[in-house]
Amino acid sequence: MIEFIENGHIYLKDGVIIPSVSEILHFIFPNKYKDVDTIILQKKAEYGSTVHEAIECFEQKKDIPELDNYQRFSFTQYIRLKAINKIQVISQEQIINYYNDYAGRFDMVASVNGFFSLCDIKTTAVLDKEYLSWQLSFYELAHRSMYHTPAFEKLYAIWLPKGNYGKLIEIERKSTTELLKVLKEFKESRKEV
């Protein structure tokens, strides 16, 4: 069983820290946020976390947290996309791991227009499809290894940019060969430290 410690974004297995998908993504994209002020990053993260929480509560039929006008608009865009694309949530915020090489927590597995899909909710101003391709593909690899299931039929971004209309965007997956090559490089880079 994997334990997640929110403070520090740490995954533990039997008391041992396991690298996160976020760490692998930082390895692939080392300069992604280098020019963004940390206070701005924190505010954007808080915004996105609140929208995520509202969606999670809505799907679990719990009370929705207080939202500001922009967050409420993003949330209503999710409701709109859910209706248009027949999104039926199967599971949310599930922790996965790949043979203790890495761990992560995906946003949602859902039926989207009848397709068994892995979805990530993004509230960023610009959607980085390449980043998402790696992120969702690593989640999918771990999910397949844990549950011995076939690949998801589709990978999607549920994109809810602040103040703009939301979109459902299909994301291309990376091959298992590409993922394992990067994972090997990542593990070798950690040995050097």
| 54-77 pLDDT tens trace | 999 999 999 999 999 999 999 999
Domains in the chain, number: 1
Inside any domain, residue 68: no
- On whether residue 108 sits in a domain, the answer given is yes
**Domain containing residue 91: CATH number:** 3.40.1350.10
State the burial class of residue 133 (Cβ atoms within 10 Å of its Cβ: 0-12, 13-18, 19+): middle
Average pLDDT, the chain: 92
Q: What is the mean pLDDT of residues 138-158?
A: 94
Residue span of the structural domain in which 23 resides: 2-33+77-192
Determine the Cα angle at 64 with ends 156 and 56, to 5°: 30
Q: Report how far residue 99's alpha carbon sits from residue 79's, in angstroms, rounded to the nearest whole number.
A: 36
Tell me the pLDDT tens digit for each residue of 14-70: 888 999 999 999 999 987 767 777 787 788 889 999 999 999 999 999 999 999 999
